[in-house]
Structure formats: structure tokens, C-alpha cells
Amino acid sequence: MEKNKKAIAVLSGGLDSVVASSVYVKDYDIHAITFDYGQKSVKYEIKASKRVCETLGFKHTIIDLPWLSKLGNSALTCEEELPLIDPDDLDNKSVCDNSASKVWVPGRNIVFTAIATSFAEDEGASIIIVGWDKEEAATFPDNSKEFLESFNQVLDIGSTVNVEIKAPAIDLDKKEIVKLGYTVNAPMELSYSCYRGNKQHCGICESCLRRKRAFKTAGINDPTDYLE
């Protein structure tokens, strides 16, 4: 039976967005949107997103943004080498700021959330679900609580419908996200986090390192198949 409340989920197929979407699966009819902006990992992000949507019963739409890959010089979307950091430096802000600057995609979350707003207005959705979290916010300002609050203020003024962005992991680090995912039975085993875009998680990019650490420190079995 169709649920009364509708939601739009920005679903990359990664750990954060999969857990965030799973929080609302019981109460909302969710339409997930996944973006292809020329990222190295797009093939497996889309594959993961499709599997998550099939498992959770979401409608799924893939949106192509070919122009976004041509802006900036992100190592996620061009031939630049992806930055590598030592696992011991995951909490070193200087090192991580430098790494983040090399994978930054100009305006990415602003664009994604604006498009999600269009879908929400069209479909009468009352919330937009995103995977923004405290650990990512340390180096990516478009994951921060301030960004969330500001964007919701923009929607209050600029949208003709009553829609709110929900980020259930906004105050959580990756370890806490894994614990939340376990609690809400999120299909974390289907998620894909690697920057490199191989079938298996590389195990050495910063995203993989954070994923590894999260499962280990949460004390929850890591279902991920890593190359290293």
C-alpha cells in the first residue's frame, strides 16, 4: 500500500546516503535520485543505488549532469591522481583539508539539493533526505549543519511548498552512522564508497579508509570487499 507521505532522497549509493534514506523508509514513499556528473565511480555508484532502491522499494531516477565534470579540476572527475593519506591522518585537519581541495566538485551539493527541490515540488514531497554528516563537514562545508540550516531557510523563502531537508546524520561521525545503519537495518552491504571506481573498494582512498575505520570502531562486521 502506498504511504501517504512522500520524500525525495539524494542517493549516491554511498554509506551515508544509504543509511540516511533507510531512516525514513517505514514512514515515507521515497523517490531516490542519483547523479552522474562524470565521476570515476559513477558506474558502481549507480549499480549500488539501483540495488538499494530495489531492496527498499524506492522509485529510482538517474540524472545526467555532464557539464558539472567540466568545472573545476576535481580528481573525482578528471585525470588527476586521487589524493592518498595515511590512516593515522584521518583526523589531521590540515592533511584532510588539502585532500578535500583536490576532490572538491564546484557547487555539487547546492546543485543536487536544488534539483531535489524541483522533484519535491513536482511530486508533493514534504522532505528531501540527504546524507550530510559531521565527519564530512570537517572538510566539506556543504555537509555542515550551518549549510543544512541555511538551505532550509532558502526553501522557506523560495519554495512554494512546505518542504524541508532532513539530514539524520548531521551530528554523527562515520562510526555513529554505521551504528545507526545497523539499528534501522540499512542495507549497508550494498553501499559503495570508493573514489576509484573499481568493482571492489580499493581500500586505500580516503573514502575507503573512513569506511573501514567506521565499521571497525563501531564494532560491527564490515561486509565490504577491499582490494587492499
Mark the binding-site residues for Zn(2+), compressed into ranges.
194, 202, 205, 208
Q: Report how far Cα 61 is from the mean position of its chain's Cα atoms.
A: 15
Interhelix angle 145-158/108-123, nearest 10 degrees: 40
Q: Which residues are annotated as part of the binding site?
A: 11-21, 194, 202, 205, 208
Place of cell 568545472: 71
Nearest 10 degrees: CA dihedral of 163, 165, 166, 171? -150
Instruction: Walk across the sheet containing 29-36 and list its strands.
Output: 59-64, 29-36, 6-10, 127-129, 164-166
DSSP state of 81: P
Q: Which residues are annotated as part of the binding site for ATP?
A: 11-21
Sorted by sequence, the CB contacts under 8 Å of residue 192 that are 6+ apart come out as: 13, 14, 41, 44, 45, 47, 48, 201
